[in-house]
Amino acid sequence: MTQPHAAHVTPDTQDADGTTAGPAGQDQGTTPAHVPPAALRAALAARLGGAARAWLDQALDEAAAHPGTHGPISVWELRLAEAGRRCGPAHADAARVLVLHAARADTDALTRVYSQGTADERRAVLHALPHLVPGPDALPLVEDALRTNDTRLVAAALGPYAARHLDPHQWRHAVLKCLFTGVPVDSVADLARRARGDDELARMLADYAAERTAADRTVPEDLHRVLALTEPGRPAPGTADPHGKES
C-alpha cells in the first residue's frame, strides 16, 4: 500500500512571523480542548509575533464586546474565518478556540459556525466544546465529525467532550474507526477510563484483529494497547478530565 507523502514532505509548519513551530502532531495534553482558555491564551500569546498577537488581542476584545449574531456576518465569525492567515496555521486552532470562548458561543452558534466552516474551523469548534457546552446538546457536531473520513476531524471529535457524553455504542465505533483510519488512539480523551471493563469493545477489537489476520494483514499496534485497557482488573487511571463531571 502506498503511504502518504505529507509526513516526510513537510515535517514542520511555519507561523505567520516565520517562526518554525514544532511538529504539529499534538499529543492530547496540548490540544486546545485540554487546556483551560486562560492558560491557552497565555501560551499562545507567548508564541505569536507582534502583529499576530495584536490581531489576537483585538479579535478577543471584539468578540467579548459583541457576541451573538449581528449584521451579515458577526465580527467574531469573521475573525474565526481569518485566524489561519493572521496567526499562522500552527496556531490557528488555539486562536479559534479563544475567539469562540471570548464570544461565549452557545450550542446554536457553534452549530452554525461548524456547519458553515472550513475543515479547520470545524476542528476548532470541536476543540472548543468542552470549554463552552456543559451538557450533551452539541453531540450532533461530534457525530457529524465522526462520520467524515477526515482524520483531523475524527481526532478532534474524540476530545474530552466526547469522552463525557458520547454513548457507548458510538464511542466504541469511534475507537474502531481510529484503528481503521490510522488516527493514533492517544487522540482519544479518557481512553483508559472508558475502555476499562468494556467487554463489547474487547470483542469488537478481537474480531477486527481476526479479520486482519485472516487477510494476512498486520494488526495495528494501537489495537493491542486498547485491548489491554479493556481488562476489567486494570487499575483505574488518575483524574483524566480536569474540565467537569464524569458521566
Partner 1 sequence: MRIFDPHIHMTSRTTDDYEAMHAAGVRAVVEPSFWLGQPRTSAASFLDYFDALLGWEPFRAAQYGIAHHCTIALNPKEANDPRCLPVLDELPRYLVKDRVVAVGEIGYDAMTPAEDTALATQLQLAADHGLPALVHTPHRDKLAGLRRTLDVVRESALPTDRVLVDHLNETTVKEAKDSGAWLGFSVYPDTKMDEVRMVALLREYGPDRVLVNSAADWGRSDPLKTRKVGDLMLAEGFTEDDVDRVLWRNPVAFYGLSGRLELDVASGEATHEGNSILRGGE
Contacting positions for partner 1 (CB under 8 A): 1-7, 9-14, 23-26, 72-73, 78, 81-85, 89-90, 92-93, 116, 118-122, 148-152, 154-155, 179-184, 208, 212, 217, 220
CB 113 within 8 A of CB 138: no
CB of 179 to partner 1, least distance (A): 7
Residue closer to partner 1 by CB (options 185, 229) is 185
Which three three-digit cell numbers place residue 65?
464586546
Taking the least distance from each CB to partner 1, the nearer of 120 and 241 is 120
* 79-85: Cβ within 8 A, 24+ apart: 80/113, 80/117, 80/121, 80/124, 81/118, 81/121, 83/59, 83/124, 84/120, 85/16
Q: Residue 72 CB, nearest distance to partner 1 (Å)?
A: 6
Residue 65, H or E segment = helix 50-65
CA 172 centroid distance within chain = 17
The string of DSSP letters for 152-172 reads HHHHHHTSHHHHHH--HHHHH
Nearer to partner 1, 4 or 238 (CB): 4
| Least Å from the CB of residue 243 to partner 1 | 23
Q: Distance between CA 136 and CA 241 in Å, rounded?
A: 16
Please state the closest distance from residue 245 (CB atom) to partner 1, in A.
30
- Which one, 102 or 183, has the nearer CB to partner 1? 183
By beta-carbon proximity to partner 1, the closer residue of 10 and 247 is: 10
Q: CB of residue 208 vs partner 1: minimum separation in angstroms?
A: 8
